Homo-oligomer: A and B are copies of this chain.
Amino acid sequence: MRHSMQNRPLLISSLITHAERVAGDSEIVSRLVERGSEFATHRYTYADAHRRSRQLANALTRFDIRHGDRIATLAWNGFRHFELYFGVSGMGAVIHTVNPRLFPEQITYIVNHAEDQLLFFDLTFAPLVAKLAPLLKSVRGFVAMTDRAHCPEIPGLTVWCYEDLLSAETDDFDWPLLDEQSPSSLCYTSGTTGNPKGVLYAHRTTLLHTYAAMSADAFCLTSRDAVLPVVPMFHVNAWGLPYICAATGAKLVLPGHALDGASLYRLFEEEGVTLSAGVPTVWMGLLGHMRTHGLKFSSLRETVIGGSACPPAMIDAFEDEHGVTVLHAWGMTELSPLGSMCRLKLKHLALPKPARRAIQAKQGKAIFGMEMKIVDGDGRALPHDDVAFGDLMVRGPWVVEQYFREEHSALVEGWFPTGDVARIDADGYLTITDRSKDVIKSGGEWISSIDIENLAMAHPAVAEAAVIAVPHPKWDERPLLVIVRRAGADLTREDMLAHLSGKIAKWWMPDDVVFATELPHTATGKVLKTKLREIYRDHVLPSTAAR
């Protein structure tokens, strides 16, 4: 029996078409990469962006780009990157946003693996392109995302100028009525081991993620917001914000290459930003700048923090010093990326502040459409009681099933193993306690490294902390706490152990505390624990009786 309704496909082109219709004059403001350290912005509207996306689609057609062809970008958050999001996917090709912070060998690997046909790049990355171009076998054209005046010359390479390509085209282009299952965009995970793996999103999966992530218990974006995504557009589509902003007609503020505290603060204030999103590291820089100069936010209402766990102290700083609500989020490339967001419930509103903050320190509830469970080592589901923790498994219409060009499904009995270890409470709030590979297995029981790190980070003398497993003859593994002290701070092993004492189970207490001048990080700013484990593999633990 056929239902009565229209069977219209979910397409990315509908986002920018909608934006023009209901928010044609809403602004997209971009800090100009071409102007370097000079604070110069470009501003135009969704109607302009839509027009230029159609010109871009015509330019791509002239390059003989076909449905499914991959187009790479090496670019910051800016209006031309925004046009590529819609022009490339809208015409049926696939935008492959390459993370320029990866090692050059990784970039070469993924561009070749994706068989990218064209590469669009911001000026910042011209030297990188000059170096890698000979190795990128499938790339037929290199396009500098700038105007003629700024277009770089790269010896031995034909470099097209983005603005020249566009100005040669009309905006007469009808977005094709694609199958919603058509691939639209491609991101590679920046795994700490092995080659990066590609996640190929589709129009349908992107639109469903957009709907779920824009909802009022997630980003809650409206046409009254001005949004500054600090999270890069090369990092899982800036958590979906370019799509969500188009769907809502929110003003979009794109910070380009200038992610330092002073640049960001000026953009927040001049453009009346109401919502932002990024990883803890960036906020550290911004909050530090503001503290040093005695500055306050005048328009910012909420900020979404994800990528890695947000230290409780950062939540306090945003809320108590600036009146800005922190929304803790969790996701990953394999989840498009949003899995959960932490907004309070009706019953939480009356709680005293410390209790509310304790909830905000969790990664929040699954957004509607995402299903989560935690399982033990044998795959048995564990209770949602905020005590049991196990491997976090997810499923849903915007969750990966099989990595791009991999032969096997990534799923275990229909669920994607996230590689995270988590607790879930009775209200559905998720707490990530560890990465599966970082969890410390002591005498058959698990110790969560993140819980201990959060406690250590709460000490005023600590700049950064990491807990890793070191081999132990009796217990298999025991926790070692590695600390970077704040500049000028004084802190001893004994101070830290005293600080932790009583706050965690006795058998969770680190067997030793060591101090380092810095911690190794991944390209996306996470502590590289594999490296730390290598460094401290032979660290001799004091002869304490574990447990």
Seen from chain A, the residues whose Cβ lies within 8 Å of a Cβ on chain B are 1-10, 14-15, 17-18, 21-26, 68, 181-184, 198-202, 205, 208, 211-212, 214-217, 219-226, 247-249, 251, 336, 343-347, 349, 365-366, 368-369, 371-372, 384, 395-404, 411, 416, 426-428
Cross-chain contact B68 with A225 (CB below 8 angstroms): no
Q: How far is the CB of A201 from chain B (nearest CB, A)?
A: 6
Cross-chain contact B205 with A368 (CB below 8 angstroms): no
User: Which chain B positions have C-beta within 8 A of A404?
Assistant: 4
Cross-chain contact A6 with B399 (CB below 8 angstroms): yes
A221 to B1, CA, bound (A): 33
User: Which chain B positions have C-beta within 8 A of A18?
Assistant: 366, 368-369, 371
Which 7 pairs, one residue from A and one from B, show the smallest C-beta to C-beta distance?
A22-B428, A211-B211, A3-B202, A4-B200, A5-B205, A6-B401, A247-B368
Who on chain B is nearest to A10 by CB? B397
A10 to B199, CA, bound (A): 21
User: Which chain B positions have C-beta within 8 A of A8?
Assistant: 395-397
A6-B401, A200-B3 as given contacts; A24 in contact with B346, CB under 8 Å: no
A216-B214, A217-B248, A368-B247 as given contacts; A201 in contact with B24, CB under 8 Å: no
Contact of A183 among B3, B205, B226, B247 (CB under 8 A): B3
Contact of A402 among B4, B222, B427 (CB under 8 A): B4
User: Which chain B positions have C-beta within 8 A of A202?
Assistant: 3, 5
Cross-chain contact A395 with B215 (CB below 8 angstroms): no
Cross-chain contact B6 with A397 (CB below 8 angstroms): yes
Who on chain B is nearest to A396 by CB? B8
User: Which chain B positions have C-beta within 8 A of A400?
Assistant: 4-6
User: Which chain B positions have C-beta within 8 A of A214?
Assistant: 215-216, 368
Cross-chain contact A346 with B226 (CB below 8 angstroms): yes
Cross-chain contact B346 with A223 (CB below 8 angstroms): yes
User: Which chain B positions have C-beta within 8 A of A23?
Assistant: 345, 427-428
Q: How far is the CB of A363 from chain B (nearest CB, A)?
A: 13
Q: List 11 A-B contacts (CB under 8 A).
A: A2-B183, A5-B199, A6-B397, A7-B397, A7-B401, A15-B368, A18-B366, A22-B365, A26-B345, A225-B346, A226-B346
A18 to B370, CA, bound (A): 9
User: Which chain B positions have C-beta within 8 A of A345?
Assistant: 23, 26, 223-224, 249
Contact of A395 among B6, B22, B223 (CB under 8 A): B6
Who on chain B is nearest to A6 by CB? B401
Who on chain B is nearest to A349 by CB? B224
User: Which chain B positions have C-beta within 8 A of A24?
Assistant: 426-428
A181 to B24, CA, bound (A): 34
Q: How far is the CB of A247 from chain B (nearest CB, A)?
A: 4
Cross-chain contact A343 with B10 (CB below 8 angstroms): no
Contact of A248 among B26, B368, B426 (CB under 8 A): B368
Other A-B pairs beyond A215-B216, A216-B219, 8, CB < 8 Å:
A6-B401, A8-B396, A21-B366, A22-B365, A22-B427, A211-B212, A211-B215, A225-B346
A343 to B211, CA, bound (A): 18
User: Which chain B positions have C-beta within 8 A of A349?
Assistant: 224
Who on chain B is nearest to A217 by CB? B222
A214 to B216, CA, bound (A): 7
Cross-chain contact B216 with A222 (CB below 8 angstroms): yes
User: Which chain B positions have C-beta within 8 A of A402?
Assistant: 2, 4
User: Which chain B positions have C-beta within 8 A of A416?
Assistant: 6
A216 to B215, CA, bound (A): 6
A25 to B396, CA, bound (A): 24
Contact of A5 among B10, B399, B426 (CB under 8 A): B399
Cross-chain contact B225 with A397 (CB below 8 angstroms): no
Who on chain B is nearest to A18 by CB? B368
Cross-chain contact A403 with B4 (CB below 8 angstroms): yes
Who on chain B is nearest to A347 by CB? B25
Who on chain B is nearest to A335 by CB? B5
Who on chain B is nearest to A5 by CB? B205
Q: How far is the CB of A49 from chain B (nearest CB, A)?
A: 16
User: Which chain B positions have C-beta within 8 A of A343?
Assistant: 222-224
A22-B366, A223-B217 as given contacts; A401 in contact with B4, CB under 8 Å: yes
Cross-chain contact A21 with B401 (CB below 8 angstroms): no
A419 to B336, CA, bound (A): 40
User: Which chain B positions have C-beta within 8 A of A427?
Assistant: 22-25
